[in-house]
Amino acid sequence: MPNRQSKIEKLIVELCPNGVDFFALGELCNPLKKGTLKTGELSDKGQYPVINSGRSWYGKYDEYNNDGNAIAIAARGEYAGFINYIDKKFWAGGLCYPYRSKDEKIAKTKFIFYSLKEKQEYIRETLVAHGSIPAINKSDVDKFKIPLPPIAIQEEIVKILDSFTELEAELEAELEARKKQYEYYREGLLMTNNSVKKIKLGEIGTMVRGSGLPKKDFIESGVGCIHYGQIYTYYGTFANKTKSFVSKETARNLKKVNKGDLVITSTSENIEDVCKTVAWIGDDEIVTGGHATIFKHHENPKYLAYYFQTQNFSDQKRKYAKGTKVIDVSAKDLAKIKIPVPPIAEQNRIVSILDKFDALVNDISIGLPAEILARRSQYEYYRGKLLNFKENVNK
């Protein structure tokens, strides 16, 4: 890496000693085709991936509306402003802004992607309007300025950053294989005992629908809170500490979460994330807000949270999921889902086994997750250094 970086430094001195010109994204790129698809049109057996408003694929479809080498920026929802690069034929949904460079000899699409990715958090913080549904306007995206060094520098930077992402992809593929193994054992432990009667969730506990809690209410310290969006992006199967806090005054108007309760996402941009669940195992009473449902019960909370990850639970929630652009499962329908409820001693035994597997594939302090985090941090560090261009003011 140092040798490559010194090569870039020499190229900068040689080709752009006074800095580089910055251009609006709309000047460098053409918008690409996109089209809205209903959830029912997607299939796991589809040939082409669909990118929409999420961080990952929305599903698969039998047609494509764009070739690869493209950028897609999420337009609406929890991930508004999130930026993806797609290297294969794909379908761009209605809730993203797809782009490609007008001329690869002048501005490489992959370089533009890395430049945007470096500023992703800034874009999400400053350009996304946080109403009832977060959204970013295409006109604001088109105006966003991108540094444009000579093509030789672009190519060298892309090579360096690609090497980081390729290594991370290899590690993530190995981690994914371990996760598949974990899922296999989880399904076996939770699904093979046919002697255990399945009971509706509503018969073993109570569903409480949350309300309120915009992100603007967050403060540095106070009463712990779980925002529904954080369940997608931050929390794992269980938690004993919260990422965010609200004041005591705000907390009074929010629904309370006690030790052992599950906090369940009621809405999502996709069917996979709806009903994603975190078990609260902390001692303190915390709060949650809108688009979340609290499940109060007397079972082992981790056992329930693990079961919410099974294929059987997923199959059942799909029957009750409603909506196209925003997927919702009501608290009333969630209470109808049936799960096996063995005695507490058996629940505890299953949890003790699954906790070990969960740590192996999710604990960021050990093993592959820790190595991936280290590589990602290294990549982000070098990306910041490589893309920190001085603007040419002597045009």
Question: pLDDT tens, 201-249?
Answer: 999 999 999 999 988 999 999 999 999 999 988 899 999 999 999 999 9
Domain encompassing residue 292: 197-341
* Residue 377 vs residues 31, 101, 158: alpha-carbon distances, Å: 31, 28, 17
Asked if residues 57 and 50 have their Cβ atoms less than 8 Å apart, the reply is yes
DSSP-assigned letter for residue 389 = P
pLDDT of residue 51: 94
* Residue 290 vs residues 65, 110, 208, 215, 263: alpha-carbon distances, Å: 35, 38, 11, 11, 11
Using CA atoms, how far apart are residues 361 and 175, in angstroms rounded to an integer?
7
Over residues 25-76, the pLDDT tens digits come to: 999 999 999 999 888 888 878 899 999 988 888 889 999 999 999 999 999 9
pLDDT band at 344 (very low <50, low <70, confident <90, very high): very high
Query: Looking at the structure, do residues 189 and 216 belong to the same domain, yes or no?
Result: no
pLDDT of residue 394: 72
Asked if residues 4 and 152 have their Cβ atoms less than 8 Å apart, the reply is no
Indicate which CATH number applies to the domain containing 61.
3.90.220.20
Burial of 99 by CB count in 10 Å (0-12 exposed, 13-18 middle, 19+ buried)? Answer: buried
Using CA atoms, how far apart are residues 337 and 331, in angstroms rounded to an integer?
10
pLDDT of residue 4: 58
Query: Looking at the structure, do residues 261 and 393 belong to the same domain, yes or no?
Result: no
Query: Looking at the structure, do residues 256 and 125 belong to the same domain, yes or no?
Result: no
Query: Looking at the structure, do residues 158 and 102 belong to the same domain, yes or no?
Result: no
Domain boundary pick from 120, 148, 176: 148
pLDDT of residue 188: 87
Query: Looking at the structure, do residues 217 and 306 belong to the same domain, yes or no?
Result: yes
Query: Looking at the structure, do residues 337 and 206 belong to the same domain, yes or no?
Result: yes
Query: Looking at the structure, do residues 182 and 52 belong to the same domain, yes or no?
Result: no
Angle subtended at Cα 267 by Cα 266 and Cα 270, rounded to the nearest 5 degrees: 130
Domain boundary pick from 113, 148, 183: 148
pLDDT band at 395 (very low <50, low <70, confident <90, very high): low
Using CA atoms, how far apart are residues 384 and 30, in angstroms rounded to an integer?
26
Domain boundary pick from 148, 165, 184: 148
Which range of 172-176, 178-182, 273-277 scores highest in mean pLDDT? It is: 273-277
Query: Looking at the structure, do residues 131 and 253 belong to the same domain, yes or no?
Result: no
Query: Looking at the structure, do residues 176 and 276 belong to the same domain, yes or no?
Result: no
Domain count, the chain: 3
Q: How many CB atoms lie within 10 A of CB 353?
A: 13
pLDDT for 181 beyond 90: no
Whose CA is closest to 264, among 299, 289, 285, 298? 289
Whose CA is closest to 231, among 288, 156, 286, 155? 288
Using CA atoms, how far apart are residues 53 and 61, in angstroms rounded to an integer?
16
Asked if residues 32 and 98 have their Cβ atoms less than 8 Å apart, the reply is yes
pLDDT of residue 131: 76
pLDDT for 1 beyond 60: no
Query: Looking at the structure, do residues 70 and 137 belong to the same domain, yes or no?
Result: yes
pTM over 0.85: no
Query: Looking at the structure, do residues 53 and 10 belong to the same domain, yes or no?
Result: no
pLDDT of residue 3: 60
3-state secondary structure of 249: helix
Query: Looking at the structure, do residues 175 and 43 belong to the same domain, yes or no?
Result: no
pLDDT band at 200 (very low <50, low <70, confident <90, very high): very high
